[in-house]
Amino acid sequence: MSVRHGASGSRTSELVTPRRENSAPGDDHVIVLFGATGDLARRELIPGLFHLAKAGLLPPRYRIIGSARSTRTDDEFRQLAKDAVAEFGLAEPTGEAWDEFASSLSYGAATPTDSQPLLDAVAAAEKALGGHPRRLFHLAVPPAAFTPTIGMLADTGLARNARIIVEKPFGTDLASARALNDTIHATFDESQVFRIDHFLGKESVDNILALRFANGLFEPIWNRDHISHVQIDVPETIGIEGRAAFFEQTGAFRDMIVTHLFQVLGFVAMEPPTSLAANQLRDETTKVFEAMPPLDPTRVVRGQYRGYRDEPGVDAGSQTETFIAARVEVDNWRWSGVPFYLRTGKSLGQKRQAITLGFTEPPLRMFALDAATPNNQLVIDFDDPGWIAAHFLAKEPGATMRLGGATMTFRYADSFCTRHALAGYERLILDAMLGDQSLFTRADGIERLWEVSAPLLDDPPPVEPYSPGSWGPDSTDRLISPHHWYLPDNP
C-alpha cells in the first residue's frame, strides 16, 4: 500500500525547508576549499557547488578558490573540477552554466611556511568582486591540519568577516574536542563556526521534524507510554576501502556513532522547540545529549570483520572495531526506560540508513501471530531520497481470523518533484553561506557526547570477529533482547 501526496500523487517542490525558503545568499562570497585536491572535495564539494550554481542558489557574485599544499595553476584546478563534476556530479560540466562556474575558479597553494599564493588568490578574487565580500572557509583537511590552518587564517587576517566549516571528526575524545574548540574560538566566534555532519543535511532527516511536529497523529504517541524501543541502523557493505591509516586511529565508534548516529538520535528524541530557529533547535538536541547517561561498556558490542587485519596498513593484532552496536539511554520524562539501539559497521549484509520505532504491544493479545511478522513499527529510511513506512497488522481475506503484516508507505521520489533536491553537503554549504546554524553541531553538544562516550573509550570490550556479509557478532542479538533487530527491505 502506498500513500502519495495530494490528489494527483505529485507536486512540484521548490527547495522549501521548515525554517525558511531556500534562496541564494545576498552577500557576495569568496569560498575557499582547503583540501581541494582531496577525495571529499572531488566527490562532494566541487560537484555540490556546481549543482548549487546551476540551481541559482549561489550568490549573484562569487569566487571559489581551491587550496592545498601542492602547487597548481588555475587552469589545472579548473580541469580537476571539471573531471570531478563529470565523474560524481548530477549534471554534465558543459554549456553556459559550466563556463560561468569555471570562470569563478582559481587556486592558491598554502603550506605551514608559505601562504602567500593563497593570500594573492583571495586578494584577486575580492578585487574582481569589489566591495566587501564575505569569506567562507571549508576545512576538508585531516584533523592534524585544523590547528595550523586556523592559525594561518588568524595570522594573515583572512578570518575577518568570515565563516568556517569544520569537517569531522570533532576530536577523538573529550580532551581533544575541548582543545579543538579552544583553538577555533581563539579566532572565530561560535556564531561563525559550522561543524558539518552531512547526515543532518539530508531531506529525510529534516523530515523527522515535520513528521513529529506538523502531525497530530504522531506527536501524542512519541514517548515512553507508546514506544518500546528505538533502533538507528547504518550498516555498510563496503570495507575500509584502503583507508587503514584513518580507520586504525578512529574505528567505527568515533567515525560513525559520535559524529552521525548520536546526531540523528538528537533529532528523534528532542522535545518540541519553541521555534525552528537555529538556537532553539540546537538547544533541544543538546538537552537530549545532556540527558544521556554515560555509556555502559557491558551494553556495547564491538566487532571486527574477518580479513580486516589482512588489509594493507592494518596492525596484525589490531583491536580496532569495524562494527559497533550500543544500547543508549535518554534519562528524561519522555524517554525514561526506552532503550535506543545504535548499530553500524563495515562489510555487513546490506547498506541502509534507517530509524525504527517499535511501539508497545496491546495489553491483551487476542490473535495468534507469527513472531517474525513486522508489526507495530514506524520506519524512517533516511537515505536519499528516503521513505517512511508504518507496519501494522490486518486481517487476511478468508473465513478465519488470520492476521498478516501490512505496510503504508510514503516515498519522497513518488510524492514530490525531486529534480532540484539538494544533497546533504549542498544543503549545508548553502546554509553556511546564509548563516543558518540549525543543522550544525554546537561546541557544548559535541563535548557532551565525548563525555558520555568516555567510559567506553576508557574500557572498551574486546572486538569479536564476524564474517563479511553477515550482521555482525552473534552477541549483538543478546544486546537487543527481548527486542529484535529490524532492518527493512525496500517497501
Which residue ranges are tagged as binding site? 35-42, 69, 168, 198, 202, 236, 255, 346, 351
In this structure, are residues 239 and 323 in contact, taking their beta carbons and an 8 Å threshold?
Answer: no
Phi-psi category of 350—alpha, beta or left, where left has phi over 0 and alpha has psi -120 to 50? Answer: beta
The rounded distance, in Å, linking the Cα atoms of 458 and 449 is: 14
Indicate if the alpha-carbon torsion angle 254, 35, 430, 31 is positive or negative.
Answer: positive
β partners of residue 134: 29
User: β-pairing, 354-359 with 377-381?
Assistant: antiparallel
The residue among 208, 271, 282 whose CA lies nearest residue 436 is 282
Phi-psi category of 484—alpha, beta or left, where left has phi over 0 and alpha has psi -120 to 50? Answer: beta
**Residue numbering of the annotated binding site for substrate:** 198, 202, 236, 255, 346, 351
Question: Cell triple for residue 346?
Answer: 563495515
The rounded distance, in Å, linking the Cα atoms of 28 and 130 is: 9
Which residues are CB-neighbours of 417 under 8 A, at least 6 positions away? 10, 11, 12, 13
The rounded distance, in Å, linking the Cα atoms of 446 and 259 is: 8
Which residues are CB-neighbours of 201 under 8 A, at least 6 positions away? 422, 423, 424, 425, 426, 427, 428, 431, 439
In this structure, are residues 374 and 391 in contact, taking their beta carbons and an 8 Å threshold?
Answer: yes
The rounded distance, in Å, linking the Cα atoms of 351 and 346 is: 9
Which residues are CB-neighbours of 475 under 8 A, at least 6 positions away? 301, 464
Residue with cell 556495547: 300
Question: Cell triple for residue 253?
Answer: 565508534
The rounded distance, in Å, linking the Cα atoms of 211 and 357 is: 13
Residue 325 backbone phi and psi in degrees, to 5: -135, 135
Which residues are CB-neighbours of 321 under 8 A, at least 6 positions away? 251, 252, 253, 302, 303, 304, 345, 460, 463
Active site residues: 260
Residue with cell 546564509: 434
**Residue numbering of the annotated binding site for NADP(+):** 35-42, 69, 168
The rounded distance, in Å, linking the Cα atoms of 340 and 385 is: 24
The rounded distance, in Å, linking the Cα atoms of 455 and 469 is: 30
Question: Cell triple for residue 87?
Answer: 565523474
